[in-house]
């Protein structure tokens, strides 16, 4: 099954390679100058005409080259400040390159964020029109599509309300609804899914899937490796303005985690120095049954995933998480404390704690690998430490159902009563 | 389909002129709406400022300085001149902060940047139109009746709008670099107010200085406005300047200001998002 998926991906990539290029970036450089002394007024300029204008150069992009074929879903990942958004802004034409060229074939969506131009003092219709005109629709087109937009955002009852009376989720829905109406061949998407509730996110995913099926080209910036693996055909990893790697989403995801946790910074060996500076370090991870470390367990047993965390700095209310993956690489279980324990407490440097996750092992038989994680307070995207497949256990079962999970269940067979009347 | 070069977008109007117009219009209408929203008296308030100021000026200059008898239809003149000057002041001062105020747009989306100062000019024109309606009524009430000469107001307003938007574009990009443009321009606006015939008429200026005085585009526009609308016996701008050829000076300043503003704006536009 896994082989199947891989070969499908290969075919898809081969098809893309044959497709014409939709976005090409060639040797792109972008440097921001951060002056040591800011001159913001004529007065200062006039009083200190000879004061030197020294500055620090911040290299946001260093020789970035990408070729995205038409119809590809291309992920751009990297840590904060790695140059992801700068790249997107350069492609959108918001920033100018210092050196290099950018070519875009087809209509490019000019926005990288939702709801640009929304004004809190105006009602939905005015805001939709401003936003749609900003994105390149004509006023009449925008007005014609207004009904559809509001219907998609599920805000029919609230059209007359000023935007300031909307909840943030409602405003985001409206923004996303407008964005889906933009007829672009190439879309640039910067972390749109960081907000919104679960059902809205699901709706976004459906739109992404539809766009993907329609053969639109999408450049997608995110921190969420799950989304990259789910949607992207290829992904690129940026680090300090350099392109570290470009390739299959899963590999990029693994590499991202390595970079994120200091094991691969500019080829530096994973040394003591790096690990010593970590804000959080997951030391060990194991499966336990009844307080005993086990490497295998029977189906249905009450299982505990246990991991030890060492804090290197003071962290408030971190989000602890764990996921289990089967041999196929499918995530069969994933959970975090984000919803169940929003306040996990304050941890001081040097403190070691043990996290225990209890669950009943109602999975099919096979090997399961455990991925523990610790993230900063918030959505859980800002990971502090994450150890992919850190440890594993084998689950054995007396029967093989063929299903991925095998929870307690019951059959009732009721025979329809034949009335003798 | 060929590879489209991205070098020109972001700043210049070329290419997506329709989008530029739609955007300018939308931004202007939004600003206009926001100003009057929720207030039925919005329009009345819009009129209150020039009319209240006019009332004070009128009393001072007719009762105290006693100019009223010397100048025909003095009240109507002041009101027209005041409204036109207000338009200039509103547009230029509104442009100063316009780019910085729209930072969230500039940083998040690529669009013809020129739409921002142009929308300020357009909002100014909406306001001017609304105020002029009331001024016309006042003029008729004061015994100044419309005649074909009033049509001259159209080219005069166009010239004034060109001048204002030209200065506005220049100020908007300057403000991104130099934040003290704002108080500097406020002072300069005050100086221009007294250097232009708003409270008085240009014929009161000493004979010897008439020509250089009327070279100021605002003075030229006001002088011509007086001749065309308020008092046809007053000298027109050609007479005041002493020759048709000299008309090229204020015209040149107007077009020059517009060209300079446009050039400076387009020069800065592609990188404006980075400098904010």
Q: Tell me the per-residue pLDDT of A190-240, one tens digit each, with 9 for 90 and over.
A: 766 555 566 777 777 788 788 888 888 989 888 777 778 878 889 999 988
Paired tokens of A96? 């100018």
Write phi, then psi, for A221 (nearest 5 degrees). -100, 130
Give yes or no for residue A90 having a pLDDT over 60: yes
Q: Residue A206: CB partners within 8 Å, gap ≥ 6?
A: none
Distance CA(B116)–CA(A357), nearest Å, equals 55
> A245 and A392: one domain?
no
Domain count, chain A: 2
Spans of all domains in chain B = 41-275
Question: Collapsing DSSP states into helix, strand and coil, what is residue A33?
Answer: strand
> A253 and A374: one domain?
no
| Amino acid A115: pLDDT | 80
* The dihedral sign for the CA sequence A337, A338, A342, A348: positive
User: By the CB < 8 Å criterion, does B69 face chain A?
Assistant: no
Mean pLDDT, chain A, integer: 81
Mean pLDDT, residues B170-192: 93
Interface test with A, best of B6, B15, B171, B185 (most A CBs within 10 A): B6
pLDDT-wise least confident of A376-385, B141-150, B217-226 = A376-385
- Is residue A155 within 8 Å of A140, Cβ to Cβ? no
Q: Please tell me which of the candidates A110, A112, A138 has its beta carbon nearest to residue B111.
A: A110
Domain presence at residue A139: no
Distance CA(A193)–CA(B29), nearest Å, equals 32
pLDDT-wise least confident of A397-406, B97-106, B182-191 = A397-406
| Amino acid A275: pLDDT | 44
Residues in B closer than 8 angstroms to A113, CB to CB, are: 108-109
Give yes or no for residue A11 having a pLDDT over 90: no
pLDDT tens digits, residue range A386-398? Answer: 888 888 888 887 7
Give yes or no for residue A7 having a pLDDT over 60: no
Residue of chain B whose Cα is closest to the Cα of A189: B108
Residues in A closer than 8 angstroms to B106, CB to CB, are: 94
Domain presence at residue A63: yes
Distance from CA of B105 to the nearest CA of A (A): 6
Q: What is this model's ipTM?
A: 0.78
Q: How many CB atoms lie within 10 A of CB A172?
A: 22
User: By the CB < 8 Å criterion, does B3 face chain A?
Assistant: yes
Q: Please tell me which of the candidates A24, A45, A93 has its beta carbon nearest to residue B10.
A: A93
Distance from CA of A112 to the nearest CA of B (A): 6
Give yes or no for residue A72 having a pLDDT over 70: yes
CB contact under 8 A, B33 and A135: no
In the numeric block, the tokens 């690529």 are attached to B110
Write phi, then psi, for A313 (nearest 5 degrees). -145, 170
CB contact under 8 A, A138 and B18: yes
User: By the CB < 8 Å criterion, does B39 face chain A?
Assistant: no
| Amino acid B14: pLDDT | 40
| Amino acid B73: pLDDT | 85
What element of type H or E holds A333? strand A331-336
| Amino acid B89: pLDDT | 96
pLDDT tens digits, residue range A249-267? Answer: 888 888 887 777 654 444 3
| Amino acid A108: pLDDT | 83
Q: Give me the residues paired with residue A307 across strands.
A: A285, A355
Residue of chain A whose Cα is closest to the Cα of B270: A96
Domain presence at residue A159: no
Interface test with A, best of B14, B17, B110, B187 (most A CBs within 10 A): B110
| Amino acid A109: pLDDT | 80
> A286 and A327: one domain?
yes
Confidence of residue A273 (pLDDT cuts 50, 70, 90): very low
pLDDT tens digits, residue range B28-65? Answer: 988 888 877 656 677 777 778 778 888 888 888 777 77
> A346 and A266: one domain?
no
Domain presence at residue A173: no
Mean pLDDT, chain B, integer: 86
- ∠ Cα A331 A359 A404 (to 5°): 40
- Is residue A268 within 8 Å of A293, Cβ to Cβ? no
Give yes or no for residue A111 having a pLDDT over 80: no
| Amino acid A420: pLDDT | 55
Mean pLDDT, residues A284-299: 87
Residues in B closer than 8 angstroms to A134, CB to CB, are: 23, 105, 109, 111
Give yes or no for residue B87 having a pLDDT over 90: yes
A337 is in which domain, residue-wise?
A: 278-396
pLDDT tens digits, residue range B120-139? Answer: 999 999 989 988 988 999 89
CATH number at residue A311: 2.70.50.60
Mean pLDDT, residues A180-185: 81
User: By the CB < 8 Å criterion, does B4 face chain A?
Assistant: yes
Percent of chain B's residues with pLDDT above 90:
45
| Amino acid A235: pLDDT | 92
Mean pLDDT, residues A324-332: 83
Mean pLDDT, residues A97-122: 84
CATH number at residue A29: 3.40.50.300
Distance from CA of A93 to the nearest CA of B (A): 6
- Is residue A334 within 8 Å of A412, Cβ to Cβ? no
Residues in A closer than 8 angstroms to B22, CB to CB, are: 133, 138-139
Domain presence at residue A132: no
Distance from CA of A109 to the nearest CA of B (A): 9
Model's pTM, two decimal places?
Answer: 0.72
- Of A273, A288, A313, the residue at which a domain comes to its end is A273
Specify which of A226-235, A362-371, A395-404 reaches the highest per-range mean pLDDT: A362-371
| Higher per-residue pLDDT: A276 or B67 | B67
Give yes or no for residue B1 having a pLDDT over 50: no
User: By a Cβ cutoff of 8 Å, what residues of chain A touch chain B?
Assistant: 24, 32, 40-43, 45, 89, 91-96, 102-106, 110-113, 116-117, 119, 121-122, 126, 129-130, 133-136, 138-139
| Amino acid B49: pLDDT | 78
Domain presence at residue A71: yes
Q: Crossing angle, helix B115-141 and helix B74-96, to 10 degrees?
A: 170
Give yes or no for residue A272 having a pLDDT over 50: no
> A70 and A215: one domain?
yes
> A336 and A383: one domain?
yes
Alpha helices, H only, chain B:
17-36, 42-59, 74-96, 98-101, 103-108, 115-141, 153-177, 181-195, 210-215, 217-225, 237-241, 248-268, 272-275
CB contact under 8 A, B22 and A138: yes
| Amino acid A15: pLDDT | 57
Give yes or no for residue A18 having a pLDDT over 70: no
> A83 and A220: one domain?
yes
* Number of CB pairs, chain A paired with chain B, less than 8 A apart: 99
Residues in A closer than 8 angstroms to B1, CB to CB, are: 105-106
CB contact under 8 A, B105 and A117: yes
Specify which of A77-91, A260-274, B255-269 reaches the highest per-range mean pLDDT: B255-269
Domain presence at residue A65: yes
> A244 and A342: one domain?
no
CA distances A111 to A90, A208, B83, B104, B246, Å, are 11, 16, 39, 12, 49
Give yes or no for residue B192 having a pLDDT over 90: yes
Domain presence at residue A312: yes
Mean pLDDT, residues A38-54: 71
- Is residue B100 within 8 Å of B175, Cβ to Cβ? yes
User: By the CB < 8 Å criterion, does B42 face chain A?
Assistant: no
> A293 and A242: one domain?
no
| Amino acid A1: pLDDT | 43
User: By the CB < 8 Å criterion, does B275 face chain A?
Assistant: no
- Of A273, A297, A330, the residue at which a domain comes to its end is A273
| Amino acid B13: pLDDT | 34
CB contact under 8 A, B111 and A139: no
Nearest to B229 by CA among B85, B80, B87, B129: B80
Write phi, then psi, for A65 (nearest 5 degrees). -130, 125
CB contact under 8 A, A122 and B109: no
């Amino acid at each position: 099954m896994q082989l199947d998926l891989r070969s499908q991906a290969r075919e898809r990539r081969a098809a893309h390679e044959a497709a014409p290029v939709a976005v090409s970036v060639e040797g792109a450089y972008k440097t921001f100058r951060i002056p040591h002394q800011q001159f913001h007024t004529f007065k200062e300029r006039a009083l200190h005409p000879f004061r030197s204008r020294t500055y620090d150069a911040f290299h946001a992009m260093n020789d970035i080259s990408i070729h995205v074929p038409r119809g590809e879903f291309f992920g751009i990942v990297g840590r904060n400040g790695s140059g992801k958004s700068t790249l997107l802004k350069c492609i959108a034409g918001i920033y100018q390159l210092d050196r290099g060229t950018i070519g875009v074939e087809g209509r490019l969506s000019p926005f990288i964020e939702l709801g640009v131009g929304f004004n809190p003092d105006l009602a939905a219709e005015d805001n939709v029109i401003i936003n749609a005109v900003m994105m390149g629709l004509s006023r009449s087109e925008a007005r014609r599509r207004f009904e559809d937009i509001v219907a998609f955002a599920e805000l029919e009852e609230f059209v007359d309300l000023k935007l300031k009376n909307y909840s943030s989720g409602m405003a985001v829905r409206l923004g996303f609804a407008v964005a889906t109406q933009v007829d672009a061949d190439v879309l640039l998407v910067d972390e749109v899914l960081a907000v919104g509730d679960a059902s809205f996110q699901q709706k976004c995913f459906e739109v992404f899937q539809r766009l993907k099926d329609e053969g639109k080209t999408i450049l997608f910036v995110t921190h969420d490796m799950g989304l990259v693996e789910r949607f992207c055909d290829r992904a690129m990893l940026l680090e300090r303005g350099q392109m570290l790697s470009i390739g299959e989403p899963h590999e990029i995801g693994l590499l991202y985690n390595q970079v994120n946790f200091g094991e691969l910074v500019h080829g530096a060996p994973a040394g003591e120095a790096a690990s010593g500076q970590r804000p959080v370090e997951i030391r060990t991870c194991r499966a336990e049954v009844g307080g005993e470390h086990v490497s295998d367990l029977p189906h249905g047993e009450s299982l505990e995933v246990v991991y030890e965390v060492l804090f290197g700095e003071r962290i408030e209310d971190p989000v602890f998480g764990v996921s289990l993956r089967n041999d196929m690489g499918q995530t069969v279980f994933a959970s975090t404390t984000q919803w169940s324990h929003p306040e996990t407490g304050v941890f001081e440097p040097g403190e070691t704690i043990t996290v225990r996750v209890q669950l009943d092992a109602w999975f099919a038989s096979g090997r399961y690998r455990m991925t523990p994680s610790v993230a900063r307070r918030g959505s859980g995207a800002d990971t502090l430490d994450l150890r992919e497949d850190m440890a594993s256990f084998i689950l054995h079962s007396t029967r093989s159902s063929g299903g991925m999970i095998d929870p307690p269940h019951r059959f009732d067979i009721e025979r329809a009563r034949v009335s003798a009347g | 389909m060929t590879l489209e070069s991205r070098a020109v977008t972001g700043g210049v109007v070329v290419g997506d002129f329709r989008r530029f117009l739609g955007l300018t219009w939308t931004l202007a209408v939004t600003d206009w709406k926001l100003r009057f929203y929720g207030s039925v008296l919005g329009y009345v308030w819009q009129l209150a400022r020039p009319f209240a100021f006019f009332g004070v000026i009128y009393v001072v200059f007719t009762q105290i300085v006693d100019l009223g008898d010397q100048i025909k239809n003095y009240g109507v003149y002041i009101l027209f001149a005041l409204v036109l000057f207000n338009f200039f002041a509103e547009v230029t001062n509104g442009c100063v902060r316009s780019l910085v105020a729209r930072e969230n747009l500039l940083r998040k989306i690529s669009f013809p940047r020129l739409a921002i100062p142009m929308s300020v000019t357009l909002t100014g024109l909406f306001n001017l139109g609304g105020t002029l309606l009331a001024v016309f009524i006042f003029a008729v009430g004061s015994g100044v009746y419309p005649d074909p000469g009033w049509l001259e107001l159209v080219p005069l307003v166009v010239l004034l709008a060109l001048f204002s938007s030209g200065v506005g574009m220049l100020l908007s990009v300057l403000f991104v670099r130099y934040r003290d443009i704002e108080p500097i321009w406020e002072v300069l606006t005050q100086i221009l107010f007294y250097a232009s015939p708003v409270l008085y008429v240009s014929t009161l200026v000493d004979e010897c200085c008439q020509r250089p005085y009327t070279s100021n585009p605002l003075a030229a526009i006001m002088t011509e406005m007086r001749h065309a609308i308020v008092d046809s016996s007053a000298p027109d701008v050609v007479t005041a300047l002493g020759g048709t050829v000299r008309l090229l000076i204020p015209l040149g300043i107007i077009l020059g200001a517009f060209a300079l503003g446009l050039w400076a704006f387009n020069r800065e536009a592609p990188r404006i998002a980075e400098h904010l």
